[in-house]
Amino acid sequence: MPISPNALRGLFAAGLGVLLAGAEPAAGQDHQGDVLGERGSGALAVGQQAPVNSAIASRILGPPAPAAGEAVSRDADGGVTLRAFRLAEPLTVDGVLDDPVYDQAPAAEGFTQQEPNQGEPPSESTRVWVLYDEDSLYVAAELAQEHPELLMANEMRRDQRNIGWGDSFSVILDTFYDRRNGFLFHTNARGALYDAQVTDERNTNTDWNTVWWVEANLLADRWTVEMRIPFRSLRYEAGGSQLWGINFRRRIKHRNEQVFFTPTPQAYDRFGLLRLSNAATLVGLEAPPGSRRMELKPYAIGSQTNAPLIDINNRWSADFGADFKFGVTDGLTADVTWNTDFAQVEDDETQVNLSRFSLFYPEKREFFLEGQGVFDFGGRETRFFGGPTDVPIPFFSRSIGISGGSAVPILGGARMHGRAGGYQMGLMNIQTSEVGALDYEGTNFSAFRVKRDLFSRSNIGVIVTHRNHAADHSGSNSLYGVDGNFAPTENMRINTFYMATREPGVETGHQAASYMGQFRYDTDLIDVEVQRLYLGEDFNPGMGFVRRRDFTKNGGSFLFGPRPRSIEAVRQFEFEAEANRYDRPDGAMETLEYTLNARAIFESSDRLMFDHTMTEERLLEGFDLSDEVGVPAGNYRFSRTGVRIRMGSHRKVSGMFRYEFGDFFGGARQELSYWGRAELNPRVSLEPNISLNWITVPQGDVRAQVSRLRATYTVSPRSFLGALVQYNSAAQLFSANLRYRWEYSPGSDLFVVFSTNRDGDDGLAGLSDRALVVKFTRLFRF
């Protein structure tokens, strides 16, 4: 029997009642902290230090609080405790460290290298201060730079990855001191803004945006930074004495050097900053009575649309709507959206499918992005490069408001996400409207997810999703799942899950289920992974994503990564062997794949990579490569070899070149591709991406090309003009998307978007559609 919406709502209410019981923290904690000056005194001065109370002291995971007049205490095990100093007056955030506080409050020092020489002192010194007043947290840093001409800070666009990959300074805050979740902030010498949510020490939601300020100042022998983060922009326990986790990272790009405030092993690799279990403890901090902010963000939009293929000629329209956000508790946030609009979202990047598996397009819509990490399931990790793995995703928000690649209006919805004690939870309910032209029924979507923290870095959880109309009009669709993610040691992880789906007319049981067991042991020298994954023939997550269906996978990999001391130009070699076998339900083999990889990571951060893959495929059904050419059912054996050169982001022209050649389903295939970035100056950049495929099979020849160029002019860290131009030869489609964004006040935006799609069969002259959109949003905080 499919679960009914009423029953699901009852389940949500019951679960919420259990979770919220006792979730309100006790109030009335003692006032404490270091005081800098007295209000109205004009000059700031270090005042009387109040001791850390016994309740806070007993929870510190590390050395005791620093002694009076000191900023840092460290122990022999690498633990660090940092003191925050309270201000009498707010700082002027201008990036210039000329306020008296910087002379009178001690700075925190003692950074050590993660790369290239673990545990060694950094080549350039770094000093940080953590300060606060009644409204905001302040983080300031002084970063020595012996050769300022080598400083690489070539990005100002908000939330761009290059901010953190160049010379940069980062801070991560674990505001609930749960040692696994937090808020991440990057900046560089140009005062760029990058913020993200971190969940389970592994996943980052880079599309989460909050209100904060940063300014930087470049001097002859150093650069300096000041950040101001309002307490209302964060979530934390009830006001009063706080105990947070905190860590800092600095990248010195011309040396390809990475240093941390706490000793950070090379085995943590790119996740070093996310490892909140390795972060310092922040004491001496007092926060306002609560973080239960209320936010109202209305919008107004006007547009002109021209789509001659469906008889729409220069039609003008206007609309409005709003999002309302409020704190249910200090850790839980509720969002309500009405008449939701996503016209400002950049177009999807076009792809060509030369396999029999589903393509994956990432979520870009703001409403679905905040708090999305709580819905991660089965130990899923952020993938910095490449698409999804074979592991199914039970909740994928692009299943809502999109049908067949076309937008579907969202009438409204609500969600709640956050933390209640030792639980992380997410609830969501969205209603879409009917669209006759798409043969789409108005659909209600519901999702429930809760995770319970276990030990220091483990958790167990459940997930439930339901939609009252399935995409194929077969009726309702429900999913139920349970997962466990365990980290018994610093380098070991075990991830497991079991899921089942339910639909009318489909028998429940093993065929409608999916399960996985995965073991991984990861150090800097070796990385071992073993996995078993099953997806039944009738397993169908109606609100999720599945790349490949109906198989049992057994696989594993082994990586050996020595660091040669005798080769000056090479930092590390990586040699990897991987084997995967996919069986059909009757136990017969469908796919057998062996891959060998060899990589050289240079001191410059450039990389040279080789891979060789041997594949055996037994196809029961053929698949199409194009409208005219396909691959028939049959047995195939082939091998492919690839060479990749990745140029580090410190170069004026960076990115990845790839050439791949070899056999392909009874024929041959060659692929030549490049994606990267060319920096014309600190404000103007070009990001070309081209993929060329030449395929010859007995059934015919296929030429597939995907070309993409993104051009950006950055006016300031809060304003940019960007263009995305794309061509897909398989779809014979040319598209262009021009976007201007101005964040005229933190959290409030003006968007101007022009987009067009043209049919390539008509010499790129056949207009499919064209639209001009102007959207205005305004954030009100209460």
The angle subtended at Cα 493 by Cα 489 and Cα 497, nearest 5°, is: 140
The neighbour count for residue 404, using CB atoms within 10 Å, is: 9
Q: Which residue has the tokens 């910087």?
A: 102
Using CA atoms, how far residue 736 sits from 34, 56, 344, 346, in Å, is 55, 56, 14, 10
Confidence at residue 11, expressed as pLDDT on a 0 to 100 scale: 36
Confidence at residue 402, expressed as pLDDT on a 0 to 100 scale: 85
CA 558 to chain centroid, in Å, comes to: 26
CA 615 to chain centroid, in Å, comes to: 32
Q: In this structure, what are the phi and psi dihedrals at residue 390, rounded to the nearest 5 degrees?
A: -75, -10
Confidence at residue 382, expressed as pLDDT on a 0 to 100 scale: 52
Q: Which residue has the tokens 């995305």?
A: 724
pLDDT digits (tens, 9 = 90+) for 651-703: 889 999 999 999 999 999 999 999 999 988 889 999 999 999 999 999 999 99
pTM of the predicted protein model: 0.86
pLDDT digits (tens, 9 = 90+) for 95-130: 999 999 999 899 999 999 999 999 999 999 999 999
Question: What is the β-pairing status of strands 402-403 and 85-87?
Answer: unpaired
Residue type, 770: R
Confidence at residue 371, expressed as pLDDT on a 0 to 100 scale: 67
- All residue ranges of the chain with pLDDT < 50 are 1-35, 37-48, 384-386, 763
Confidence at residue 649, expressed as pLDDT on a 0 to 100 scale: 84
Residues 6+ apart with CB under 8 A from 360: 387, 388, 545, 547
**In angstroms, rounded to a whole number, what is the distance separating the alpha carbons of residues 291 and 302?**
35
